[in-house]
Amino acid sequence: MNCQDINQLFDANAEDLPRAQRDVIDRHLASCHACSEDWANWREIASVSIPATPVALRARIAAALPVQRDVPARRAFRPFVVGGLLLVGAALAASVALKLAQPPAAPALAQSLPPTAPAGRGGGESAISRPSAVPGLPAESSTKDAGVEVPMDAHRIVVLKRPETAADALAIAIATQCHDAIVRRLRGVAGLKVTADSAVSPYEGNSGVTRLAPGVARFTLPPADREIARKLGAANVVVVSTENGCHVTEFNGQTGGIVTGAMSGSLNPPADGWDSFAVMLAQKIGDMTLKDLPTVVEEAKAVVLNTALSERERTEALWKIDSSAFDKEVVGAAAQIGTKSANADVRGSVWAVLRGVDDQSLIQPLLQALANDPDASVRMQAALTLNTFLDRPGVHEALQRAAAEDPSKEPEVPCCILSVRDAAERASIADKDFRGWVLRTLLDESLPARSRLLSLQGFSPDQRFMSLTTADFGTEAAGVVFAIGRNEKDPRVRRMAWNALWRAKPDEAFLPVLLSDLNGHPDEYVRAEAAKVLARYTGNTEVRAALQQALNDASMAVRRAATP
């Protein structure tokens, strides 16, 4: 995940998020000054009042629904609600400014939660007066015996909200709004059977599931949640966590394994709340649940080839096609969009999705984009994709020329996004030479500190990951990174150093500086990155005490990093 991808989310273009980088969004946000400033700005915007629910709304909605069996009265099921989101005018540095209501106290909410919208077509329970019973189970068995099991249904999904241990009221409110939008859109997918909210709560009472340690919600389905899926007969579980705003992961309810392709996340909601994000996610989950992969791919190809559809729709469909499944016709259609579109976001997305597609017909359009496209982000994507053709005539030379001459010398965001020159230089390095190049760059004192650290940040725009482990570079490289961080006054670069250092073998000599940063650095993300490194020194009494104290830090990022 890089800043360009996150900016697309801010602009309500979540469908353009590269699937290969979803699992590194948290690393990016922890190290990126500009994106973290957007997050801080958003948190500081004044709250607004929650509008009162019209008195007759409940009756009007109930009257519009088909008559069904009587159900128990709806019970309150979450301690926080989200206030209205108001667009406040001019955009912030890279995102839409939003106002989010501060959640009121939990006891008052238990008495005043308004009824929610009716359920959609997805087969889920009514959202107006959701029964404690689970759809498909006898009503009397659901409330009396939460241990009753039903046969697994491949089309049933359980949606769970799982805040982190470090999450505060605002973080829970944000994730709650995201959760509600996702549930609403999943219920609109014909054929899906969605169980959420109060229909899950009888099964959570004895599960011991409350809050999760950082990272668990994204990569692990706890045994208690697997048990919920088993009791409900759900093939899959969708977990909505508070990590970096809203993070969504789909798990196989039986094995607990991650369902590939469904992980997604966003720091800020788009301008429409979370709706466009939820639409994108519901479509993915619906496709993976209700269709087999060949069907999804063939439908995506048909969309790409349909010139009556918008360029954005056709480009979005490209992301559903694996690089090995591109045929000549689809490659040609994609190259035409990338060459002809007037929208820079669309052009850049096309060149990004074609990364790894080894079709010689792409070389000339990519070279033309690298040399002539007026948008730097498009040239950057073209450069990275040209790495696939590094051994073809003229490609290496074109990349070297761009690395030396492109007008984009500096990136828009210092920490992690690549300038065109950065991307072209990186792309000009063959896989067999890449590790050596990263090490040489780190050790080259003539380069700016940011350039030396850039390839060790835990993200990869071209799927070539490199981390600062002893196996990769040895202790000398770790010492170099520490020296850069210790001497760096720019907090953006300082936290880049600590972000790289936490993967290295612990060295007691680093402790005084790291403890000083954790205890008193004014930049919350420098403190958070220091906490991440220090978490590897928990055998040290002073470190344990500092991490314990950091659990009270005003910054959620610091609390998250310090959580055991």
More confident call, 328 vs 322: 328
pLDDT at 430: 96
- Which residue type sits at 416? C
Taking alpha carbons only, the member of 19, 22, 6 closest to residue 416 is 6
In percent, the amount of the chain with pLDDT more than 90 equals 54
pLDDT of residue 209: 57
Q: Is the pLDDT of residue 195 over 50?
A: yes
414-433 burial, b at 16+ Cβ within 10 Å, e below that, comes to: bbbbbbbbbbbbbbbbeeee
Lookup: tokens for 147:
């241990």
496 versus 63: which is more confidently predicted? 496
Higher pLDDT residue, 75 or 203? 203
Q: Please give the backbone phi and psi of residue 18, each rounded to the nearest 5 degrees, phi first.
A: -65, 125
Per-residue pLDDT, 207: 54
pLDDT higher than 50, residue 89: no
Angstrom CA distances, 1 to 20, 24, 154, 247, 265, stand at 8, 6, 31, 13, 10
Site of tokens 């629910």: 53
pLDDT given for residue 262 in this prediction: 75
Q: Using the predicted structure, report yes or no on whether residue 404 has a pLDDT greater than 60.
A: yes
H/E element holding 523?
none
Q: Which of 2, 93, 9 is nearest to 269 (CA)?
A: 9
Among residues of the chain, what percentage have pLDDT more than 70?
Answer: 71
Closest CA to 126 of 203, 36, 219, 61: 61
Instruction: Tell me the C-alpha distance between 486 and 480, whole Å.
Output: 10
Task: Report which of residues 68 and 414 the model is more confident about.
Answer: 414
Pinpoint the alpha helices (H) of 306-394.
Answer: 311-318, 328-340, 344-353, 363-372, 376-385
- Kindly tell me if the per-residue pLDDT of 133 is higher than 60: no
Distance of CA 360 to the CA centre of its chain: 33
Query: What's the pLDDT score for residue 394?
Result: 96
pLDDT tens-digit readout, 209-262: 568 887 777 788 988 899 999 999 999 999 999 988 899 999 999 899 998 777
Of 213, 241, 239, 240, residue with least CA distance to 225:
239
The residue among 512 and 34 whose pLDDT is bigger is 512
Instruction: Classify 486 as helix, strand or coil.
Output: helix
Beta-ladder partners of 264: 248
Give tens-digit pLDDT for 281-319. Answer: 999 999 989 998 899 999 999 999 999 999 999 999 999
Residue 531: what pLDDT? 97
pLDDT of residue 263: 80
pLDDT band at 388 (very low <50, low <70, confident <90, very high): very high
- Using alpha carbons, list the distances in angstroms from residue 227 to 81, 247, 335, 399, 448: 27, 22, 47, 53, 52
**Measured between alpha carbons, how far is 427 from 457 in angstroms, rounded to an integer?**
17
Question: What is the per-residue pLDDT for 176?
Answer: 93
d(CA 236, CA 219): 14
Average pLDDT score over the chain: 77
Interval 491-540: pLDDT, tens = 999 999 999 999 898 999 999 999 999 999 999 999 999 999 999 999 99
Indicate the pLDDT class of residue 11, thresholds 50, 70 and 90.
very low
Q: What is the mean pLDDT of residues 62-72?
A: 38
| DSSP codes of every residue in 266-322 | ESS--TTTTHHHHHHHHHHHHHHHHS-HHHHHHHHHHHHH-TTS-HHHHHHHHTTS-
Predicted local confidence at residue 58, as pLDDT: 43
**416 band by pLDDT with thresholds 50, 70 and 90:** low
Residue 14 pLDDT: 37
In whole angstroms, what is the distance from residue 222 CA to residue 253 CA?
Answer: 10
How do residues 134-175 score in pLDDT, each as one tens digit?
A: 333 333 333 334 444 678 999 999 999 999 999 999 999 999
Please, which pLDDT band fits residue 102 given cuts at 50, 70 and 90?
Answer: very low
**How is residue 548 written in tokens?**
């314990």
153: enclosing H helix or E strand: strand 153-162
Model confidence at 202: pLDDT above 90: no
pTM across the whole model: 0.68
Query: What pLDDT is attached to residue 333?
Result: 97
Which tens digit of pLDDT belongs to each residue from 332-376? 999 999 999 999 999 999 999 999 999 999 999 999 999 999 999
Q: Are 397 and 440 in contact (CB under 8 A)?
A: no
Average pLDDT over residues 475-504: 94
CB atoms within 10 A of CB 165: 16
